[in-house]
Structure 1
Amino acid sequence: MPSIATIDPALKAAGIVGTWNTNVPAALSVLDEGAARLLAGNVDLAGRPIPLDIALGRTHPDDRDWVFDRIRRVRRTGGSTSTEFRIVTETGEVRWILNRGYLAADANGVMRGRGAYIDTTDTHRGPFLVVGAEQPDKPDPLIEAVDRCIDAHKAVSRVGDRGL
Structure 2
Amino acid sequence: MKFDGIDDRGQAVGDLHAALQASGVVGTWDWNPVSQRVRYDPGAAELLAGDAALAGRDLEFADAVAGIHPDDVPWMTQEVERAMQAGGLMLAEYRAGMLSGQTRWLLCRGRIFHDPRGRPVRSTGILIDITEVRTMDAGSVAPPSIGEPEAPLVRAADLCIALHGVVGESGSEALRGMTERLLLQIGREIARAERAAVPPTALH
Could you say whether these structures have the same fold, taking a TM-score greater than 0.5 normalized by the shorter chain as the test? yes
User: What are the Cα deviations for residues 104-147 of structure 1, in whole angstroms up to 9, with x where unaligned?
Assistant: 125897621110111110113xxxx3xxx23437x75xxxxxxx
State the SS of the aligned residue for 2:69.
coil
Could you tell me how far 1:100 is from its partner in structure 2?
Answer: 0.4
Deviation at 1:45, TM superposition (A): 1.2
Alpha-carbon displacement from aligned partner over 1:32-66 (angstroms, at most 9, x marks no partner): 11111111011221111112221121111111100
Aligned length: 135
Higher share of residues assigned strand:
1
Identity of aligned residues (%): 34
CA displacement at 1:14 relative to structure 2: 3.4
CA distance in 1, matches of 2:79, 2:34: 17
- Which has the larger share of helix? 2
Give 1:31 deviation, angstroms.
0.4
SS at match of 1:85: strand
Q: Which runs of 5+ in 1 are unaligned?
A: 141-164
SS at match of 2:82: helix
CA distance in 2, matches of 1:62, 1:110: 26
Tell me the TM-score normalised to structure 2 length: 0.56
How far apart in 1 are the matches of 2:43 and 2:3?
5
TM-score of the superposition, structure 1-length normalised? 0.68
Among 94, 112, 124, which residue is 1:114 paired with?
A: 124
Give per-residue Cα distances to partners, 1:7-36, cap 9 Å, x unaligned. Answer: 556643431111011111111111011111
Q: Tell me the residue number matched to 1:69.
A: 78
Q: Root-mean-square deviation (CA), in Å?
A: 3.1
Aligned to 2:137: 134
* Structure 2 gaps, min length 5: 5-12, 143-204
Partner of 2:133: 123
